[in-house]
Amino acid sequence: MPVRRPAPLSAGLAVAIALGTVALLHGGRIAAAALIEGVGCGVLGAGVAGVRRGWRVTGGVVAAGGAGVAAGALVWGLGVAGDAVGLLTTLPGYLGAVVLFLGVMPLYGSGSRWLVKAGAGLVLAGVLLAGLLNSAGFGSLLLATAGSVVAWDLGENAIGIGEQLGRETPTARIEGVHALGSVAVGGVAVWSVQFASGWTPADASLSSVLVLLLAVLAFTVALHE
Amino acid sequence: MSGRQSTNRWRGVIAVALVAAGMGLLAENPALFLLGGVGVAFAAYPLLSPAPDPHLELERRLGAVSPRHGETVEVTTTVRNAGSRPLFDVRFLDGVPDALSVTDGRARRGLVLLPGDEASVSYTVTARRGKHAFEPATAVVRDLSGATEVELDVDTESEIDCVADEGDVPLRDRTTTPAGRVLAEDGGTGVEFYRTREYRRGDPLNRVDWNRLARTGEATTVEYRRERAATVVVLVDAGAAAYRGRGGEPHAVTLGVSAAEQVAVALLEGHNTVGLAGVGREPCWVAPAGGRDQRVLLRKTLATHVTFRSTPPAETTAVVGQAERIRSRLGPTTQLVVVSPLADDDIVEAIRAFDAHGHATTVLTPVVTADRTVGQRLAEVERRNRASRLRSAGVTTIEWEPDTPLVAALAAAGGNRR
């Protein structure tokens, strides 16, 4: 059976969203660095696809170029991040995006769900650290959390579709519909948390936070029945 | 046919909620805590997304139902959502027959189908000799979140039947005087006038002198012969061992059924009485008769009888016993044409028993052994041994390569006396 690589549309979207969360959280030059890293990854992916299809020399050159651009953007972004706090919140995001990209490029075989999960997890870690250190606004944090989950979802879907249908099959429709669904759920999540948080002021006392915690846990347990 | 499965792909997303809430609690950071709500929403997503209950209908249109070998056939399969719910993620794979390969386009597609919607998959296959029935198409349907997957087979009867190059065989000029009139002009009664010549490639099968072929192994074409109806039974070996073939090509039973049909039809056109027999899952028997009805009956039996199915039987088959029962039904002058890959000794024993009881037997054997592995080469050696054993017992055995037309094998058989 031929090796089936992940569907490119969802794969590209997944990486883009992962980098987008980094850009969203930190803005400014870090966002620019994330954008350039995204472009570099895209070029690298195209080059690798070319090499696998047989255009060794052209593909190799393109891939090397893309890798160089992505690495350069990464280094620049980290440099721009500034102090330790900045590094702690941006490094996991960048790294996560790169790891996710390797999972869907794919680095080997038909893609690695593990790498995709790890990459999205790293991006999420960056978001949570940013929340912990209060280095981003609540709205951005919410969107970035949703973004990391959607990035994982699209990456895993890309691998699954690639395994079952193959890259050359036109699958844009099912990928698009699935992506819309996940983004919609993310949007609803963000909106409802914002709505719910309107009920508890930001400097709420510990007891009210505890009540909220118990409610959430009870709901979660009920859902898992 | 229908299997519903949880993909469990969303398992673990609740960890997002727990980690965020836990960190928020430990750090007394309500904003962080509330980020867990996003995880909760995504954990609820697969539980709230309804599992798909797909009802799909299929229609397949073939560009050519009886193509020539090597001709391209365009296949257009249309899938329709016959249910009342939208299907957001349908992964469709058409059931291309194993022996055929897709040469243009793809036989698979991702589809989004609202109720009543239709979508088409178009591709091209290249025809190869034999009958190829399409397998059921597979559709893997997922709900919007991807949490539940339902796999179902959708079927519609489609078949590509590729026989030998009939177009290459010139029809005998019907203006040549039929034997009856020649005899009448000669005025002799009881004198059988016939002339034979060596079989030439291109002569139609119904002019082959089967009696002579069985007796002497020579393939000759008869001209101006007063047609003497012969009774012939065509026996197809569909025993468990016969279901073998080269990888990716039709197996010997598919080829055998196709060859049996050609031979039977050709003999019927020559005004012989032809019957059909088969050994395999069950013995198959159609008594010899002539005429158009018999032709229809033979074709129908070859296409539908359980013995000639293209999937191999699950258990071993008692070929020798079935052959004996068939032999008891043969008339004293009935001849036999056996189509078999000679894959085991049982069929050889059966053939020799037929021959020993006075039925002139001809064996047509498709060569379906490959030579890539030691096992395959051994099988080929065994097959050749069986063929030569039959020949030395006086049974005419004609081998044919499945890629070449049957008539060419007969021409070759006429060429080198074996």
Q: Which strands sit side by side in the sheet containing B273-279, from one edge to the other? A: B284-289, B273-279, B231-237, B335-339, B361-366, B396-400
Residues in B closer than 8 angstroms to A131, CB to CB, are 20, 23-24, 29, 31-32, 35
Q: Quick one: residue B84, left, alpha or beta (phi over 0 = left, psi -120 to 50 = alpha)?
A: alpha
CB contact (8 A) between residue A127 and residue B146 = no
- Amino acid B181: pLDDT: 29
- Amino acid A96: pLDDT: 93
Measure the CA dihedral B122/B125/B131/B136, to 10°.
-40
pLDDT at B186 over 70: no
Rounded to two decimals, the ipTM of the complex is 0.86
User: Does residue A49 sit in helix, strand or coil?
Assistant: helix
How far apart CA A25 and CA A138 sit, in angstroms, is: 10
CB contact (8 A) between residue A216 and residue B40 = yes
Residues in B closer than 8 angstroms to A173, CB to CB, are 110-112
Kindly indicate the confidence band of residue A225, based on its pLDDT and cuts at 50, 70 and 90: low
Chain A residues 93-152 within an 8 A CB cutoff of chain B: 117, 124, 127-128, 131-132, 134, 138, 141-142, 145-146, 149
CB contact (8 A) between residue A212 and residue B47 = no
Kindly indicate the confidence band of residue B162, based on its pLDDT and cuts at 50, 70 and 90: confident
CB-CB: which of B20, B41, B91 is closest to A185? Answer: B41
Q: What is the pLDDT of residues B94-118, one digit of tens each?
A: 988 888 888 888 888 999 999 988 9
Q: What value does the mean pLDDT take over residues B394-401?
A: 85
CB contact (8 A) between residue B16 and residue A124 = yes
CB contact (8 A) between residue A224 and residue B146 = no
Most B CBs within 10 Å: which of A169, A197, A199, A225, as the mutation test of the B interface? A169
CB contact (8 A) between residue B29 and residue A134 = yes
Kindly indicate the confidence band of residue A13, based on its pLDDT and cuts at 50, 70 and 90: very high
Kindly indicate the confidence band of residue A213, based on its pLDDT and cuts at 50, 70 and 90: low
Residues in A closer than 8 angstroms to B28, CB to CB, are 206, 209
CB-CB: which of A142, A169, A196 is closest to B110? Answer: A169
- Amino acid B272: pLDDT: 80
How far apart CA A60 and CA A21 sit, in angstroms, is: 30
CB-CB: which of A128, A209, A223 is closest to B44? Answer: A223
CA distance B70 to chain A (A): 24
Residues in B closer than 8 angstroms to A169, CB to CB, are 106, 108-110
Locate A48 and state its tokens: 């690798």
Q: How far is CA B204 from CA A207, B112, B193, B264, B266, in A?
A: 98, 52, 20, 13, 8
CB environment B289-315: b (16+ within 10 A), e (fewer)? ebeeebbebbeebbeebebbbbebbee
Most A CBs within 10 Å: which of B8, B29, B35, as the mutation test of the A interface? B35
Kind and range of the H or E run holding B346? helix B345-356
Kindly indicate the confidence band of residue A176, based on its pLDDT and cuts at 50, 70 and 90: very high
Amino acid at A54: G
Q: What is the pTM of this model?
A: 0.61
Chain A residues 151-210 within an 8 A CB cutoff of chain B: 153, 156-157, 160-161, 164-166, 168-175, 177-178, 181-182, 185-186, 188-190, 192-193, 196-197, 200, 202-204, 206, 209-210
- Amino acid B177: pLDDT: 32
Q: What is the pLDDT of residues B287-296, one digit of tens each?
A: 988 888 888 9
**DSSP state for residue B171 in the 8-state scheme:** P
Within 10 angstroms of residue A168's Cβ, the number of other Cβ atoms is 11
pLDDT at B158 over 70: yes
Q: What is the pLDDT of residues B332-391, one digit of tens each?
A: 888 888 999 998 898 999 999 998 888 888 899 988 888 788 888 888 899 999 999 998
CB-CB: which of B13, B14, B34 is closest to A193? Answer: B34
- Interface size, chain A vs chain B, as Cβ–Cβ contacts under 8 Å: 153
Residues in B closer than 8 angstroms to A216, CB to CB, are 17, 21, 36-37, 40
How far apart CA B370 and CA B197 sit, in angstroms, is: 35
CB environment B379-400: b (16+ within 10 A), e (fewer)? beeebeebbebbeeeebbbbbb
CB contact (8 A) between residue A149 and residue B31 = no
Tell how strand B118-126 and strand B102-105 pair up.
antiparallel
CB contact (8 A) between residue B112 and residue A174 = yes
Q: What value does the mean pLDDT take over residues B18-33?
A: 86
Residues in A closer than 8 angstroms to B8, CB to CB, are none
CB-CB: which of A127, A131, A196 is closest to B29? Answer: A131
pLDDT at B184 over 60: no
Locate B319 and state its tokens: 């070929």
- Amino acid B267: pLDDT: 82
Residues in B closer than 8 angstroms to A200, CB to CB, are 30
CA nearest neighbour of B12 among A116, A18, A195, A210 = A116
Q: What is the pLDDT of residues B115-140, one digit of tens each?
A: 988 999 999 998 887 788 888 899 99
- Amino acid B206: pLDDT: 67
Q: What value does the mean pLDDT take over residues A180-195?
A: 89
Q: What value does the mean pLDDT take over residues A150-168?
A: 90
Q: In chain A, whose CA is at the least distance from the CA of B20? A: A128
pLDDT at B211 over 60: yes
Residues in A closer than 8 angstroms to B20, CB to CB, are 128, 131, 145
CB-CB: which of A127, A132, A153 is closest to B29? Answer: A132
Most B CBs within 10 Å: which of A133, A134, A174, A177, as the mutation test of the B interface? A174
